[in-house]
Amino acid sequence: MPRYFFDTHDGAFNLDEEGNECENFEAARREAMIFLPEVARWEIPRDGDHRAFTVMVRDDNGIVVYTATLTYAGLTLNNAGT
């Protein structure tokens, strides 16, 4: 089964040195789609209202085969934060 690596960038670059075995490219793409919201779920409350989370999927040859970015932008309305 091929191994894919899921490098992330969310203000800092994080290199995935272990990777995950995925059945094929489509399975790796789905894994990235599931992974991004999970990362955002835990990081957004810590760091505020404007964040971008990127995952770059590399194949076992080290070639980036897929990239995706999830952007979060929050806005406080009507002086609710004051």
The string of pLDDT tens digits covering residues 55-75 is 999 999 999 999 999 998 888
Q: Which residues of 30-42 are buried (b: 16+ CB within 10 A; e: fewer)?
A: ebbeebbeebbee
Taking residue 53's Cβ as centre, other Cβ atoms within 10 Å add up to: 21
Q: What is the pLDDT of residues 39-59, one digit of tens each?
A: 888 888 777 788 899 999 999
Which residues, at least 6 apart from 62, have a Cβ–Cβ distance to it below 8 Å? Answer: 5
The mean predicted confidence, pLDDT, of the chain is: 91
Q: Which residues pair with 68 in a beta bridge?
A: 55
Q: Is the pLDDT confidence value at 81 over 70?
A: no
- For the entire predicted model, the pTM comes to 0.83
Query: What pLDDT shows up at residue 40?
Result: 85
